[in-house]
Amino acid sequence: MQPVVAVVGRPNVGKSTLFNRIVGARLSIVEDTPGVTRDRLYAEATWLKHKFTVIDTGGLDASSEEYIPQQILRQAQLAIDTADVVLFVVDGKAGIVEGDLDAADILRRSNKPVVLAVNKMDTIKHDDDSYEFYSLGLGTPLPISAANMLGLGDMLDAVCEFFPKPDADEDENEIIKVAIVGKPNVGKSSIINRILGEERVIVSNVPGTTRDAVNTFYEKDGQKYMFIDTAGIRRKSKVTESIEKYSLVRAVAAVERCDVAVLVISAEEHITDQDTKIAGIAHDKGKAGIIVVNKWDAVEKDHKTMNKYTAKIEDELKYMPYASKVYTSALTGQRLNNLFDEIKVAYQNAALRIQTGILNEVLIEAMAMNQPPAVKGVALKIYYITQVSVKPPTFILFVNDSALMHFSYKRYIENQIRQNFGFKGTPIHFIVRNRN
């Protein structure tokens, strides 16, 4: 599991600039999946040997009437809830202001490690201006300039020092970690409570009633599970847009830690743009995925209703044809037992390995049925295929010229592999590499 770093601070201190620098080409490789709509709210980054996810908690509108100190506190609290490390950004030129003090107070009382970055220190002469930030009580202030790329190496070294150390003795029969994700008020907490048979998570028809992410352990038929409930923040009037944005932040952090992502949508609302963004997070990160249509008991149905709804989901989420669909009701418990079966299948398939010899037999048969494409008289030649990793299953195709591999033919090969080996519930990735 990759560590999560939240960039937090009041508006206009340079958070977005710093975010872009951290995930920019000089520090990381960021890949976008075609067809997946999402806000530039998070990205994967690398620094030296460390890979991590960066969350930008900015975006508050300083001109809005709703812009009040409580929103700054909410932003800091969000970072505490979701991140392994908080990168607290302040404005060195402006000095300490009230918003900094409020956020620092929350961070000081937390158990989360904090790296204090004093931004806009554009020259060495300005570094002395960072000393006053010692008074925030958050450790050594690190002078940086996001705009001029100064001091970022030392800052990232400090961030990486706090990353959790990998557990080399992790049990092979590990707990299946399941993230219950979805927009507010679709019944995520109700599903967990129904599974447990007791009310462990606050449930209300007000979106975002539960503020904190909740981890709940459960055992069924000898298999242990950890459910990660990702509720939204408490709702305030006229901040629905912010609530939806923050629910994405929580989804990013939860998906990063899970083995299987369960996207809960409401049968009463159908697929929304928010649903596609959250689904895209799991798909981008290569997580096994299941789609749960909750509140199915509240829908008037005939014998075609489920098929029509499934077709609608598949049309909106074209990039996730592998995801199982489970139609449930947290209120009645309808089909919730089926959810465990689908979770186990998706988890097992995400960890499935196929022998190279068998893979190449399928590849040869696939190419015999449908010849590789040719561009300007030069035909694509695929020499062999091998699986290099799991979670998600990842394959390398060795070819004569990777530029000749059209996405439609790669999709054809994926379909042939799925027909032979299943891989239900999990995305599979392909890397096309020149043989030489």
Query: Mind listing the pLDDT tens digit for each residue in 305-354?
Result: 899 999 999 999 999 999 999 999 888 888 888 899 999 999 999 999 99
User: Residue 119: what pLDDT?
Assistant: 92
The pair of three-digit structure tokens given for residue 195, joined into one six-digit string: 């599974």
- pLDDT reported for residue 249: 66
Q: How confident is the model at residue 37 (pLDDT cuts 50, 70, 90)?
A: very low
Place of tokens 């008289």: 377
Same topology, domains 4-161 and 176-350? Answer is yes
Distances (CA, A) of 378 to 118, 365, 381, 400, 405: 55, 21, 9, 10, 11
Mean pLDDT of the chain, nearest integer: 80
**Exposed e or buried b for every residue in 194-210, given b needs 16+ CB within 10 A?**
bbeeeeebebeeebbbb
pLDDT digits (tens, 9 = 90+) for 271-293: 888 888 888 889 999 999 999 99
Domain layout of the chain by residue ranges: 4-161, 176-350, 356-434
DSSP structure class, residue 265:
E
Helix axes 98-108, 69-82, angle to 10 degrees: 30
The contacts of residue 316 (CB under 8 Å, 6+ apart) are: 271, 275, 276
In CATH, which of 3.40.50.300, 1.10.645.10, 3.30.465.10, 3.40.50.670 is domain 4-161?
3.40.50.300
Q: What is the CATH number of domain 176-350?
A: 3.40.50.300
Burial per residue of 397-422, b for 16 or more beta-carbon CB atoms within 10 angstroms, e otherwise: bbbbeeebbeeebeebbbebbbeebe
The most confident of the ranges 13-17, 61-65, 181-185, 290-294 is 290-294
Q: At the topology level of CATH, where does 356-434 sit?
A: GMP Synthetase; Chain A, domain 3 (3.30.300)
Question: What are the E-state strand segments in 48-126?
Answer: 50-56, 85-91, 114-119
Identify the residue with better confidence: 76 or 57.
57
- 67 token code pair: 């812009």
CA distances from 4 to 56, 164, 274, 431 (A): 11, 10, 22, 26
- CA separation, residue 163 to residues 48, 104, 211, 304, 362 (Å): 13, 21, 24, 50, 42
What single DSSP character describes residue 14? S
Q: What is the pLDDT of residues 215-245, one digit of tens each?
A: 677 888 888 888 886 653 333 343 444 455 5
CA nearest neighbour of 53 among 35, 26, 73, 30: 30
Q: What gap in Å lies between CA 322 and CA 346, rounded to an integer?
A: 9
56 has pLDDT over 80: no
What is the Rg, in whole angstroms, of the alpha carbon atoms belonging to the chain? 24
- Judge whether 134 and 105 are in contact, CB under 8 Å: no
pLDDT(111) > 50: yes
The CA-to-CA distance between both ends of the chain, in Å, stands at: 33
At 369-388, the pLDDT tens digits run 999 999 888 999 999 999 99
How many residues in the chain?
A: 436
Instruction: Tell me the DSSP string of 318-344.
Output: TT-TT-EEEE-BTTTTBTHHHHHHHHH
